[in-house]
Structure 1
Amino acid sequence: MKSTSTTRMLLASGMMVGVALAISPSAHAVDAAAAEKLARQEGCLRCHGIDRAKDGPSYKELAAKHKTKPDAEAKLIKHLSGGVKVKFEDGHEEDHKVPKTKDADQIKNLVQWILSQ
């Protein structure tokens, strides 16, 4: 009997650890100060506000739209790096500005910061 209850307890503990890992933040913590500095240097904050829309959606809006999707990070990295077209309210389109930095870790940190808003 002890063996069965011990096994059940271990299984339950293992499941709780698995759930905790699944819902815990990424092992790589976001460097918010570096991300915001990069956003300012690259001119991102001219079109995007952190919590209010400008010519582009706010980072809070982007986070709310994307952060629950499993491919959110990859999608936003592609958007930032790919120079895709963006459409404005008046109907005109422009190429989305691509960050000058080619440091993938900086761009990933920026995207993770956006998704954390």
Structure 2
Amino acid sequence: MRDRVALRGLRARGHHGVFDFERREGQDFVVDAVLYLDTAPAAASDDVGDTVHYGVLADRLVEIVTGEPVNLIETLAERLAAVCLEEPLVERVELTVHKPSAPIEHEFGDVAVTVVRDRGGAS
């Protein structure tokens, strides 16, 4: 599938991490979602009902990030990818969770986990 809808840089505050202070204080997480779907029907109809409403999807992703804490961003990425695949038109998702304030005692640019999931469960 060559068509993609991308939602990048979605920022929300969550309480994920393995350390008590991460759970207590929280930190910002940044989500990038690339959805693979056929956009031709939406282009032909010019109707948002024929594609993924990225505003609604953003709300759902933020609910996950701000919701139940998990230890690992791998777990968070998996949950977010599952939400994307609940969209009926999405055949595949590439989902990245960035943890820009990860508790690392060295200067770094980013920590991120990317998962690629298909509707059929294969990756």
Per the normalisation by structure 2, the TM-score is 0.29
More strand by share: 2
Structure with higher Rg: it is 1
